[in-house]
Amino acid sequence: MVKMTSREIITLLPYSKPFLFVDDIESINEDGVTGSFTFNPELEFYQGHFKDHPITPGVILTETMAQIGLVSLGIFLLSAEEHTFKGQVVMTSTNVEFLRPVFPGDKVTVISEKIYFRFNKLKCKITMQNQAGDKVCYGELAGMFIKNING
C-alpha cells in the first residue's frame, strides 16, 4: 500500500477555495479518517445565514463531513490501488442529524469510519465535533468514485 501524506490527499481533492472545507487530515488508514476545518468568519455565506446571528448552514456542515470523511478517504483507498486518483466523486446518499450550531470561527473535527468500499462506492459513518469535543452532527454518507475516461 502506498502511503500518502495529508497534504498530498488534500491536493487531490476536487475542490478549491472558497469551497474547500479541509484544513488538515490528522490520521487516515484503510478503515477511516480524522480531519479538521476552521470556519473563517469572512466566508460569504455568513452574510445572510442568519441576519445578525450567523451560523454555519447544515448543507455546508454536510459538505465538510463529505470532503473529509468520504472524499479524502476514497482518494486514499483508490490511490493505494492505483497510485493516483483522477476522476469525479458523486454523492449518492446522505443521512445527517444536526445537534448543535457551528458559529463563524469554530474549528470542527470530522471522524469517519468506513462501513464498506466496493465497486468504487464508499459508505461511511461520520461524526463532527466542535472544539469542546461536543458532537455537532453525525450520520452516514455514501458516494461513487468515477474514473475519468480521458484521465
- End-to-end CA distance of the chain: give it in Å, rounded: 22
Q: Which three cell numbers stand for residue 38?
A: 476552521
The three-class DSSP label of residue 3 is coil
Task: Using DSSP bridges, classify how beta strands 107-118 and 32-38 pair: parallel, antiparallel or unpaired.
Answer: antiparallel
- Let me know if 49 is a catalytic residue: yes
Strand order in the sheet with 24-29: 24-29, 32-38, 107-118, 121-129, 135-147, 87-98
* Annotated active-site residue in 24, 49, 98, 144: 49
| Residue 91 amino acid letter | M
Q: Which residues are catalytic?
A: 49
